Structures are given as structure tokens and as C-alpha cells.
Chains A and B, each alone.
Chain A
Amino acid sequence: MKRSWAELTEWLDHRTGIQTAIRQFLYEEIPASSGWHQVFGSVAIFLFLTQAFTGVLLAFNYAPTPGDAYNSLRYILTELTGGRLIRGLHHWGASMMIVIVVLHMVQVLLYGAYKKPRETTWLVGVVLLVVTLAYGLTGYLLPWDNRAYWGTVVTTRIAGLAPVLGPYIQRLMGSGGGSVGVVTFARFYGLHVLLLPPATLILIGLHVYLVRKHGVAPAAGDEVLPNQQFYPRQAFRDTVAIFIAFAVLFLMAVLVRVPLEQLADPTDTSYVPRPEWYLLFLFQTLKLFSGPLEVVGAVVLPGLAMLALVLVPFIDRSQMVKVTRRTVAMAFVTLGVIGWTGLTAAAVMSTPKEATAVAVDYSAPTDWMQLSPEEMAGVAYFRQENCVSCHVVGEHGNKVGPDLTRITIHKDAAWMIQHFKRPSAMMPGSAMPPIQLSDVQLNSLAAFLLKLNPNNATALDNAPEFATQGALVYQANHCGACHLVNGVGMKIGPPLNGLAKRQSRSWVEDHFADPQKLSPGSIMPPYKLSPKDMEALTSYLFALPD
């Protein structure tokens, strides 16, 4: 076995030279000072390959048109095994990529590794940074939810501010006049999956070729020490760093849910767009400039920063010195970190509360939205009475009592109400305690249970707290006596589905207090709701499907 393996590799090496090539790659000589600080480049390449892998997997179930993109992503998240994990890896991988690329550049900057003859290696690296940001920019639009749409509207408007070139850049992005539509989407998708990946491969190839050509940058004092070999010691360090990065990424993908917002709605004027966390500093910078100076914050400063990066190896041409003596580089990096942190913190603090509160997570099934207010109130009673301490619903519950999703155990509402009041009378031998609720409340509970089946149990179990609490307020105030929700109720007042489209939150809240003031001629009586009830009811109404 061992012999035939050796024969095979020898045969292959003779024809392809692969073994020799690998050996040359692994036993590359690196300076004695090489160590843990040089692992970031390898981690960046690993992350790029992971992004390519998860990206291809996403593309296998993704329809790249604005009409279908959102639905196909929801399909990936809610119906495919592992879909949420794959999307999480791709989403957080993009963020991590930025972090690692920046760390890589900081290391090179601190050590002065860009100095003669490695200027071109640095320049290719700067282009790779731009490419990485371009992935983030184009990928941001692809879920086609509100966040994606409005974020891209802002980006294209900023691009339009560029002096002279602005309108042309916008036209290239497929968004003449700053509007975002099908053409923009097609361009961004084409860039993200067709143009950028091969460009990245070529640039990485060039970058690595240059690193190999000039060798890993030595530190001062390396001349007198013997070189070491890349394999296995430095390869081990790179592998450990990659493993740490991967473990963090994997945990993020499993634990931190990437939300999917509502389908992109170009008419939703109340939406406050926010960029990705790593670009918040730019967003904050932009706020410092207004009117005719806006172009400074939007284009001039970022442009100058890129120019400064390009010029670094041509400005700093001194001899290689120990990293601890590179005080100017350290000062620049420190200033950069402080500036970035300060601006980002300011942006986070100035974020209005509504902009961060994602009312509804569309990356999970949202069947609960279709429930009538009465059924939704039933969900509240179901939770209040802690029915899951004995019954299984969706992913929660104990198996003491029967599985309530089994349709066969659902009788009619009248039977169920009698059973709730005196369980053992209707079901001899039942150990269930009587439920202490009023008839109206029991009716609600029965209505919800009649809706349960094995397919929607998890989805109904997902109903957020504000929706069930809001439905309780809705029921308690008999809103259904005049209004229609999900086809249930009366048509004396306007139907409440799509309210979020028609009115702002503050309008609705003021309207409860004095309906005639805001809509003269209305016959709706005023309601004095506690702040908590008001919050729950308005959130509930605003989360109703259109």
C-alpha cells in the first residue's frame, strides 16, 4: 500500500511537478523574526475561500432578481436545513474579512513591511482592500429587504456627489438620478458574483507572487540570524490563527441571528437607513459636513484617505528599524483607531431607537401574522397559563398532556371551553387543572388552538411578545367592533391592515387620545391607554400584513 502510494506520487510528480512545487512552497525560507504577527494574510485568504464556498451554496438557492431575491432568501432561511447557518457564515464572514484585512494592513504598516522593494506588494494590497469593500457594498443590496434597499439608495446618492464623475458613476451603478431598481440590482449582482471573484483571485495571485518574489519582509537584525522554514512552524501558527477566526465565525453564525427585514418598499418614507457597522464612521463623518461642504465628507476625505494609503511606501522610505522604534507609524495607527472608535461610538449613540428595533424578523416563518386578533390573544392566554408545562407546541413544551398540534384532538370551541373549565368532566381521568379565565378569554384560547397544526406550530410559537400583548389590548377595547384585521371584525371604521403604510406611529398614538382632532368627522371614541398598552397595541397594528 505504502509502496504503491509512493509510486503514484512519483508518477504524478514526474508528469506535473506537483510534489516539487508543494515542497518548494512549504519549505520556503522565511526570516528568523517571522512569527504570530504575520498570520493575518493567510487568515484573509482562508476567509475569502470560505466566502466563495458559502456564496456558491447561497447562489444554488437564490433568484437574482428584485422580484424573487427576497422570497428565495426567506426560503433558504426558513425551509432549508442549514440555510440559516450558511447565510450566517456568509454575512459574518464579510464583516470578519474587513476586520482581518484591516489588521493585516495595520501589521504591515507598523512593521514597515511595505518598504523597498515591496512597494508594489503594498499597492496590490490597497487594491484588494477596495475590492473587499466593493463586495460589502454590492452584497448589501442582494437580500432586497428594506435595509438593503435604503442602504443602497444612500450609497448611490453619495457616489453621485463625486465632482465631475458623479453622474457617470451613478449611471455605471445602474441608478441614474440616484434611484435604485432592477438595473442597479443586476449590476450589483453581476459585480458581486461575476466580476469581483475572478478579479480577487488574480489580485491575490499577484500579491502572493510578489510576497514570494521578495520574500517575507525581514526585521532589523534578521541579517545575522539563520532563516527558518515556513513548514511546519509558521504553517502551524497560520493554521491556529485560521482556526480561531473560523471558530469565532462559526459561533457568530450559529448564535447571532442575521435579521431579514420587510421586503424592500420604495414608498416607505419612514425608514431610517444605516450602513454596516464598519462604515458607520463614514456615515458619522458625513454628518459633520452640510450644504455645499457635503462633498468634502462624502468624497474628498475618503478619497484623500485612499490616496494616503497609496502613498505610504513612497513617503516612508527610511531604513528598516525595529517595530518598537517606529513611533510615527504607531502614532498614525493609534490616531486611526481613536478616530474610528469615536466616530463609530457617536454614530451608534445617535441612532434613534426605532431604527434599531427590528419589529419583525422575517428570517423565521411569520404565519402568526395571519392570526385574527382573537386568536392572537389566545396565544397570550396560552403563554400566560403556561400550557407548555404539560403540552408540546412547536419546539417547546413537555409531553405530560397530549400534543395539541394533532388536529384529531381538536373538537369544536364549545366542547373545548367546557373542557377548560372542568377538564375531568369532559375527559375522564384527565389530570389537567381547570383554567381560571373568563368565557371570552377561553373563547380566544380555543380559537387559537383550533388554528394549530403540526406545520404551523413553530411559526405560531414565534409570535413576538408585543403582538400577543397588543392583541390583548385590542380585544379588551373591542376594537374589532368597528375595525377589520386579517379579514375579521367590522367595517365601520377603516381596516387596520396596512396602517403602517398610511400613518406614522406618532399620528396613531395621538389619534387614540383625540380621534376628532386628527380625523374630523370620525366617530371613534377617545381611548386613554397606559404607555405600555399603547406601545404594544401600536407595535401590533404596525406589524400586521398589508
Chain B
Amino acid sequence: MTAPDDTAARYRRPVPVLWWTGRRPYLLFMIREFSSVFVAWSVVYLLLLVRAVAAGPAAYRGFMELSASWWMLALNVAALALTLFHTITWFVVTPKAVAVRVLGVRLPAFMVAGPLYTAWIAVSAFVVWLLVR
């Protein structure tokens, strides 16, 4: 009863907990938000790999065996799908959030998103070149 806004809150219509399951755009929104869990998982997984590499060849082999187990593969296939979803939704949203102006004219969305996709492909190609040789 400290904040004056409590009065207003009591007149607000309660929102059902699963409000986002009813409509497709709402559901996609929530999947996008929860894709961040898989972004975090992917980084944790990479750090575990680095830790195994630091511990020596035997630990690296052990990690590779673990990563080939069916449940770890399933987890990482899900992580791949959701991090791809993250990348695409991120590049779709960025031109809406970042207004790039040249000579006072706002650049169209594709001229903001285009360089992002280019950078994505270039960085991915560089990582593959670095690791697969």
C-alpha cells in the first residue's frame, strides 16, 4: 500500500498466464524471447569444450564422445534451430530499431539488413576456414 499506483492496478484486467499460446505471432514472440536460453546454452557448451581442450587430448576425446551421444546431439540440433531463429529474427528487427540516415534520408530496411547478412556469412565462412583445414 505504499505506491499510489496500487489503486490503478486493482482495476486492471487480469492477463492469463498463458496469454501467448493463443495466437501465432504471440507464440513466435515468446519462442524468440526464449531462444536466448539456447544462446546461453551454446556458449556454456563451447566453454566446456575449451575446458576439455585445456585439460589435454584425453579430456578432448571424452568431450567428443559426450557430444556424440544422442541426447547431446538432440540438444544441439535444437540449439542450432533456435540460434538460427535468433539470428534471423535479430536481423529482421534491427532495421526497425536502428534508423540509419544518409543525407537526412532514412535508409530502407534491406540496406540495413543486407550488410548484417553479409557479415554473418563472412564470419561463418571464416570460422569454418579456421577450424576445418
A, B assembled together: no
